[in-house]
Amino acid sequence: MDLIIKNLGATPYEETWQMMKDYIAHNPSQDEIWITEHPAIFTTGLNKKDIKIPDSDIPHVFVDRGGKITYHGPGQVIVYLLINLLKNQLTIRQLVSIIEKSIIELLIKNNIKGHSKKEAPGVYVLEKKIASIGLRIKNNFTYHGLSLNVAMDLSPFLLISPCGIDNLEMTQVSDLNKDYNNSEIISELTKLLQFNLSMHHE
């Protein structure tokens, strides 16, 4: 799979969300992966049932990805995947599995044992969640993607039921491996995503 990788640096959430929608609206021939980080924000996906919006100064926005409520903030690596499923002969379930596999392999390289759960997309360390996945499909393209907790303030997660799961605890790379390197994590994660996507394509 021919992928373009773009490191956007820190970006406002809603601006980047609009950029994704604009990109896929033109039926691009190119698949892309965008790396970014957002200022503190709560986002709620299309599954709004039983969602309680936190009473907080942190902004909240309803978005068009799958899933329920989550938090984004500095110190979290965000990867957006703008991929043509039809062209690459991928199902959404296969893409989610590739994302989970790539994160788990990244964690192994950082001496962290992660695993996925069939009933709850994402990656977990023991019973704590370290990475979340939320996608949307339009015109055969995916957008939105994954968030990996690296070195952030996790306390805003206490104000919500992350991904709609009550009492779900969150964790992050820096709490599990003090020798982590943020730039290496970003580089290695993009390499693993590229490799695992290309292996499927072959």
Long-range CB contacts (within 8 A, 24+) of 113-122 = 120/163, 120/165, 121/67, 121/96, 122/163
Please pick, among 133, 163, 193, 197, the residue that the annotation labels catalytic. Answer: 163
Contacts of 97 (CB under 8 A, 6+ apart): 116
Residue 60 is among the residues annotated as catalytic for this protein: no
Nearest to 192 by CA among 131, 127, 129: 131
- CA–CA distances in Å: residue 201 to residues 87, 91, 176, 184, 190: 10, 12, 33, 26, 16
123 exposed, middle or buried (CB, 10 Å; 0-12, 13-18, 19+)?
buried
**Which of the residues are catalytic?**
163
